[in-house]
A = this chain, B = another copy of it.
Amino acid sequence: MPYRRTERVVRRLAAREQAILEAARALAVAYGMAAVQIAAVAKHAGIAAGTVYRYFPSKADLIADLIAALAAREIEAMRKAADTAPGPLSALAASIGTFAARALATRKLAWAAIAEPVDADIDALRLDFRQSLAAELETRIRAAIAGGHLPDQDARVSAPAVIGALTEGLIGPLAPTYDEPAAAREAVQLATLLALRALGVVDARARGLVVQVTLP
């Protein structure tokens, strides 16, 4: 038995992989996707550049993992919020509100993961993220249409349109910045309202669809 990975070593390796991902995340949060460079990530994680390649075959794989984790968490949150809602329409509202609130809370990271310009091969990964976001919304929109809560429409267009509206309106470079938490909460509610109106909900507020979203 020439060599075997001790439990301790296995743990250290796993911890280091997490540290690399965490470093990448931290850089994206602080400076955007462009700052997520192998040398910078390695330095931030306290290791050498070459070591990163013992954990990830390429930078694209690293970022794929980063975005996949992010996407899973976001979709999960949207789903959870929607599934505890009483009906299809409030499920849709909860899904949209959750996305908006969480995106604004991690603004720079969300923008980096959804729309910040980067090179083409990484852009493809982000497309998956947007795709799954759109798919999640599309399902909810279809359900609401089926339930007669929304006017008939092409959900393949509406879903990405809603994502685009929330993205540009809340976290894009043209969106205002909100210093006060109360202002941010209000912005989220107004954006949610706008998105619901776009889908054909006439008086969402009056019907109590736009509610306070609690963040973890």
Contact = CB atoms under 8 A, between A and B. Distances in A.
Nearest to A32: B120
A163 interface: yes
A158 to B, nearest CB: 7
Contacts of A202: 202
A190 B157 contact: yes
Interface string A191-204: 10011011110100
Nearest to A194: B198
B191 A157 contact: yes
Contact of A174 (B116, B119, B131, B195): B131
A46 interface: no
Contact of A168 (B164, B187, B191): B164
Contact of A118 (B117, B158, B200): B117
Interface of A: 34, 115-120, 123, 127, 130-131, 134, 153-154, 156-170, 172-176, 187, 190-191, 194-195, 197-200, 202
Contacts of A164: 164-169, 172
A169 B119 CA distance: 22
Nearest to A203: B202
A215 B184 CA distance: 40
19 contacts: A153-B194, A154-B176, A154-B187, A157-B169, A157-B176, A157-B187, A157-B190, A157-B191, A160-B172, A161-B165, A161-B191, A161-B194, A163-B168, A164-B165, A164-B166, A164-B167, A167-B168, A195-B198, A197-B199
Contact of A161 (B123, B159, B168, B173): B168
